[in-house]
Amino acid sequence: MINKEVGVMLYVDDVAAEQKFWQAIGCKVEEEKEEMGYQSFSMRPTSDSSVVFMVYAKEFIQKVSPEVLNNQPSLLFESEELLMLHAKIAELTDKISPIQTEPFPNFNFASPSGIIMPLRAFKMEVAR
């Protein structure tokens, strides 16, 4: 049987930059590790989330599991604080789109490694 938690592995160029970015927008880092000389960390969007992200250096994955290196999940985040997160993320990166209202309030942003992710409003309306 599959557990209630879901783990998503992200392969990035700069683990330290990713950790700083995700912590700045509110993610909770649970564990930091070093394996074979490479840093990694795990985080959750909120402390009670059933989703855990495990962030690894691409160089590490190239050595231990090269067949999955190019597998990147398409992630969709939801928030009741879309406007606040848009402003916060815009302070951290210029790789962010304006807020769109159709088909629902949303915007896209890129992490320091260039992974593009959408964030949509959850139970909230944006003034049109």
Residue-wise pLDDT for 26-39, tens only, equals 999 999 999 999 99
pLDDT recorded at residue 45: 95
Q: Which of 88-92, 93-97, 101-105 has the lowest mean pLDDT?
A: 101-105
Answer whether residue 127 is part of any domain. Answer: no
What confidence category does residue 4 fall into, taking pLDDT thresholds of 50, 70 and 90?
Answer: confident
* Residue 64 lies in domain: 6-121
Answer whether residue 126 is part of any domain. Answer: no
Report the CATH number that the domain containing residue 71 is assigned in CATH: 3.10.180.10
Do 106 and 11 touch, CB atoms closer than 8 A?
Answer: no
pLDDT recorded at residue 74: 85
Domains held by the chain: number: 1
Tokens of 113: 């490694």
What confidence category does residue 89 fall into, taking pLDDT thresholds of 50, 70 and 90?
Answer: very high
pLDDT recorded at residue 128: 47
| Alpha helices, H only, 11-101 | 15-24, 58-64, 82-92
State how far the alpha carbon of 61 is from the alpha carbons of 5, 31, 66, in Å.
23, 18, 6
* Position 87, amino acid: A
Over residues 110-128, the mean pLDDT reads 80
Sequence-separated (6 or more) residues with CB below 8 Å from residue 64: 36
